[in-house]
Amino acid sequence: MAMDFPAIERLRSSDPLKSDLARPDKVAAFRHDRVEGAEWDRMVADFDGICQEQLHVFSRARWPGVVIDPLVFRRNQRPAGGCIVMYRRLPARLGGLAVAKWGPIMADASALDPGAEYEAMVEALIERYAVDMGLMLSVLPRAVPAERNSQFEHLRERGFRDGAGLPFPNRYFVRIEQDDAAQRASFAQKWRYHLNKSEQAGLIFERYPASALPVFQSLYDAMMDRKRFPDYSAVHTLPALMGTQISGIRPQLFLVSHDGAPVAGAIIFVAGNTAVYLYGATNDRALPLNAGFFMHHRIIGWLRENSRASWYDLGGTDGFEGLHRFKSGMVGKTGVVSQVPAPMYYANRAWPRMLGTAVYRARDLRTRVRQAIQRKRANG
């Protein structure tokens, strides 16, 4: 059922929603409604801002114990953006938690005033989850390949509180809107050296259908056995993601082989204007062959020719120095190393704020301890 956007009279006079979108005549045309999961995934496949974390098929597999709300925002009946929000209520009407990870997302990043539309969507989330439902709302802005993160800045101005940021927040972005010669020149000298060596090793790079997922999984399992630490990633969601019938949101699977046997693989999310490196795997033969350098260079070329992405998001490092050297060398002269913003929290009532803060502090402590153990094991 469609719902009117919250009336501007309910917004505080200090709110930074000052664009044309904040005028009553503009707000009246901006509506949101909840849609079913499959409908949401089909609708957002063409959104510029779509990402894995904002897919229903992923969220359902990743977080089975929560309620998932796919909300689409429309202006003049056309989708302008949307957000998947996951929430869980606490017993005895003590509130609960609502989380929007890497959302809200924009349908068209080149819209006349995307910042104003983002602000309007945030207001709707506040009204629905913090005010009406009495939950603590957590919005985790997406990292962007820019010096400033306007979405994070807006949330802070709007009254959201900063949560605990990641201990290693760097995110590595490769710019892919350049020809291969410029791309190679952008790589760090040592990265380019290893790439050149890999191209003399007889490696083969190919894109495979989703049915080849077991091949990638075998590589991944062997890699995790070699590293000897627990896997806390969302790799268990891959069968659902790769099995979706919506081709626009299905990740791409790439394998690198040598002498007819796979030695490295990658799963890449390619929808939207930013491609994302979701998972990678190598076996013992990959390192002396420099297979990782070869694979990522070929992925960049494939994205340039077959996607509408402007950037290739390599993810973070969790503090592993070897990953930092590898990814920063690939980012090179034309890419960007930015930071994942801290999660932002908003509560309209005291109990949800206190209980939500306690829950998130406990979670952050558990995550930091787990990461420290992983780094110690990996670094010997």
Give me the average pLDDT of each 10-residue run along the chain (380 residues): 32 34 46 94 96 98 95 89 93 81 94 85 95 93 94 96 88 96 97 98 98 97 83 92 97 98 98 97 95 98 97 93 96 97 86 63 60 55
What pLDDT is attached to residue 243? 97
What pLDDT is attached to residue 8? 26
CA quadruple 167, 252, 322, 53: dihedral, nearest 10: 0
Map tokens 């098929």 to a residue.
57
Domain 3-162+343-378, second-level architecture? 3-Layer(aba) Sandwich (3.40)
What pLDDT is attached to residue 18? 36
What pLDDT is attached to residue 152? 96
The CATH class that applies to domain 178-309 reads alpha beta
Residue among 76, 69, 82 nearest 32 (CA):
82
In the chain, what is the straight-line distance between the N-terminal and C-terminal CA atoms, in Å? 56
Single pTM value for the model:
0.87
b/e per residue 306-329 (b: at least 16 CB within 10 A):
ebebbbbbbbbbebbeebbebbbb
What pLDDT is attached to residue 225? 87
What pLDDT is attached to residue 13? 30
Q: How far apart are CA 82 and CA 55, in angstroms?
A: 11
What pLDDT is attached to residue 19? 39
Sort 56 into a burial class: Cβ within 10 Å, 0-12 / 13-18 / 19+: buried
Q: Where are the beta strands (DSSP E) in 239-304?
A: 252-258, 261-269, 274-282
User: CATH 3.40.630.30 in the chain, residues?
Assistant: 3-162+343-378, 178-309
Which helix H or strand E contains 320, and what residues bound it? none
What pLDDT is attached to residue 321? 92
256 touches 262 (CB < 8 A)? yes
